[in-house]
Chains A and B, each alone.
Chain A
Amino acid sequence: NAGVTQTPKFQVLKTGQSMTLQCAQDMNHNSMYWYRQDPGMGLRLIYYSASEGTTDKGEVPNGYNVSRLNKREFSLRLESAAPSQTSVYFCASSEAGQGARDTQYFGPGTRLTVL
């Protein structure tokens, strides 16, 4: 039981390049989330998926797209990376039912640098 896994762990991009961050969970959770973490700030929600087949914007969705590929997998895509997207990205999942009141389980993060 690996929990929440994320790939890659580290990535360096040039401005304008695109990439997809992958996230998978093996806990049979319905809801999945993408956050970014910047120095001196808490986590901010980018997008979430309350259940398979649905996605919705969070606090900071601009510049990102997501795909809920199936119940296990939730990917985050940067179409044209910008230096402002340099951050640590966390994926999380929760069982569902209580939405934000659920306990969320986090992956180890992806450290992204955009030059």
Chain B
Amino acid sequence: AQSVTQLDSHVSVSEGTPVLLRCNYSSSYSPSLFWYVQHPNKGLQLLLKYTSAATLVKGINGFEAEFKKSETSFHLTKPSAHMSDAAEYFCVVTHSGSARQLTFGSGTQLTVLP
């Protein structure tokens, strides 16, 4: 069995300050992990993914995430928030080649204040 927990349903930051969105996972096997972003009334877009290569993964728009096996975490960070980063973010885990084993977190809504 596997699961993913996004620890904050809402995060607010000021423009220009760092962003931290937290994700913990549970998986019996070596997982693959993804972060997706969803802007209002849009589909999901892949930010980055980890598939057992380097533990620090760089994604689009200045985001990165670090896979920490000992902490079962895959937190998403960005050094400096931009207004356009306001969106909902989903952490996703799978350990399998089967689409049935893809598990989405419940999402974190990021608000960026001017």
Interface with A: B63-71, B74-82, B102-110, which one? B102-110
Instruction: List chain A residues, Cβ under 8 A from B103.
Output: 42
Are B43 and A42 interface neighbours, CB within 8 A? Answer: no
Are B100 and A58 interface neighbours, CB within 8 A? Answer: yes
* Chain B interface residues toward A at CB < 8 A: 4, 9, 32, 34, 41-46, 49, 51, 90, 92, 94, 96-107
What are 25 A-to-B residue pairs whose CB atoms are below 8 Å?
A: A4-B43, A40-B9, A40-B107, A41-B106, A42-B104, A42-B105, A42-B106, A44-B104, A45-B99, A48-B99, A48-B100, A58-B99, A58-B100, A59-B100, A99-B98, A99-B99, A100-B96, A100-B98, A103-B34, A104-B44, A106-B44, A106-B45, A107-B43, A109-B41, A109-B43
